[in-house]
A and B are shown apart, each in its own frame.
Chain A
Amino acid sequence: EPEVTQTPSHQVTQMGQEVILRCVPISNHLYFYWYRQILGQKVEFLVSFYNNEISEKSEIFDDQFSVERPDGSNFTLKIRSTKLEDSAMYFCASSEYQGSFTEAFFGQGTRLTVV
C-alpha cells in the first residue's frame, strides 16, 4: 500500500540552527502539505504546495520556513533558525486532487526537539 514517508523520525537541534525535514509523498499525488503538532495540542496547518508553488500558508509559516520540491519525489520543509517553540511533531501529507479536495494521507512524522 502506498504511503507517505518522512525522515528523520526524530531530530534534535540547537536553537538557531537550520533544519530540513524530508518527505516522500505518495507518487501519484499532486498536493503536498506540512502540518505540525505541539505536544498536547491540535494538528495545525502550515502550508500546502501544488504545481511547484505554495497554494496556501498559515500565519505560523513565516519567513523562517520554506518548502521545496527539489526533485520528482522529495518534498522538504526548511526551518532557517530554529526556536525553542518550534519543538513539535511535523507531519507531511499528500492528496490527489479531483476538482476538489480529496483525502489526505499523512506520514509518520518527524519529532523535532530544539534545545
Chain B
Amino acid sequence: RKEVEQDPGPFNVPEGATVAFNCTYSNSASQSFFWYRQDCRKEPKLLMSVYSSGNEDGRFTAQLNRASQYISLLIRDSKLSDSATYLCAVTPGDYKLSFGAGTTVTVRA
C-alpha cells in the first residue's frame, strides 16, 4: 500500500463551484499533515497545515480524520487561479514529508 494516495482527478469545475477531494495515508503514526499546491513544473507551495480540529483559510477548508486515516481539502467559490495540482503531504516520521501524486483541479470560466 502506498504511503499517501490521492485521487488524481482531474476535477473540472466551473468558476464559483465547490470542489472537494481526499487523501489517504497508510502510517497511523503520522503526526503532521499539509496541503501543498503545485503549478506546472514549479515548486510545491504550502497551502495550509491540517490540524486535528480542522481548519479554514479563506475559501479553503482542510479536515483530518485520524480514525479513517484521511485528510480532505475543500475549495469554495473556485477561481480560475485555483487551477493547479494539489499535493497532500504527511510526515510518517520526524524527518521527512511524504507526498501523494497530486489531484489536478481545473477551474473553467
A interface residues (Cβ-Cβ under 8 A, vs B): 31, 33, 35, 41-45, 48, 50, 55-56, 58, 89, 91, 93, 100-109, 111
Contact = CB atoms under 8 A, between A and B. Distances in A.
A31 to B, nearest CB: 7
B94 A100 contact: yes
A75 to B, nearest CB: 15
B32 A107 contact: no
18 contacts: A35-B99, A41-B101, A42-B87, A42-B99, A42-B100, A42-B101, A43-B38, A45-B96, A58-B96, A89-B41, A101-B31, A101-B32, A101-B91, A101-B95, A103-B46, A103-B49, A106-B44, A109-B42
B95 A50 contact: yes
B9 to A, nearest CB: 14
The DSSP consensus for interface residues of chain A is strand
B35 to A, nearest CB: 11
Contacts of A55: 94-95
B33 to A, nearest CB: 10
B44 A56 contact: no
Contacts, number: 57
A109 B46 CA distance: 15
Interface in B37-89: 38, 41-46, 49, 87
A32 B95 CA distance: 9
A56 to B, nearest CB: 4
B97 interface: yes
B15 to A, nearest CB: 27
Contacts of A106: 43-45
A15 B34 CA distance: 36
Given A91-B44, A106-B43, A108-B42, A45 B93 contact: no
Interface in B5-28: none
A49 to B, nearest CB: 9
A31 B99 CA distance: 18
B84 to A, nearest CB: 14
B56 to A, nearest CB: 17
